[in-house]
Amino acid sequence: MTPTPVPAPSPSAFDESNLVARAQAGEQAAFATLVSEYSRKIYRVAKNITQNDEDAEDVLQETFLKAYEHLSGFQGNSKFYTWIVRIAVNESLMKLRKRKGSRFVSLDEPIETGEEEVKREIAVWEDNPEQRYSHEEMQGILDEAVDSLKPDFRTVFTLRDIEELSTEDTAEALGISVPAVKSRLLRARLALREKLTRQFKRKGDDLLGYL
């Protein structure tokens, strides 16, 4: 009886480490695959930080250009995506500094976190906002609230809660400590909660005026 051939295991649809190794060996198609895989995510990160379509496009191009130029220096100590996110964040912050001066604190600057306690009182929504607004209205309200955050808080919130990077990957991408990520994320979430509470209350009052 002829033995039934055992099919070879199919390769993973996307193998980051393999693609990076091939790109470092000079295979341009491998780098193009990495660009295709991560372009939308990098653009989204840049747009959330810069709040500007043209700046986000510039950051996208600069990120992958610098990644290609310095590809040989990537040692594989972190994920490739984490590495290019860090490039994108730095490029985005440079855009902000050029646009608005040097009023923003660098994400590389250490901050004291300690064991701080946040005792801020946040109002409770009286009803479910999703029952009051359409999906489009809700998304617009949320986007506006996120855009209003300070750049360092907005960046951490974007990577952790929108892009869903782990706390450790976020810390590595931004070059800050894990406690700093946790502290900034907490402050970002509290600030958003407060802004959204005021927004929903104000809109609710406006609606009552028409009744």
- Whether 116 is covered by a domain: the verdict is no
Task: List the one residue out of 106, 86, 87 whose CA is nearest residue 96.
Answer: 106
Question: Looking at 3-159, which runs of residues are DSSP E strands?
Answer: none
Q: Any residues with CB less than 8 A from the CB of 173 and at least 6 apart, and which?
A: 82, 83, 85, 86, 89, 159, 165
CATH of the domain at 194: 1.10.10.10
Q: Give the structural domain span for 201.
A: 129-209
Query: Residue 60: which CATH number?
Result: 1.10.1740.10
Residues 20-30: tens digit of each pLDDT: 999 999 999 99
The model's pLDDT over 45-91, given as tens digits with 9 standing for 90+, comes to 999 888 889 999 999 999 999 999 999 999 888 889 999 999 999 99
Look up the pTM and report it.
0.66
Of 116, 150, 161, 143, whose CA–CA distance to 199 is shortest? Answer: 143
How many structural domains is the chain composed of? 2
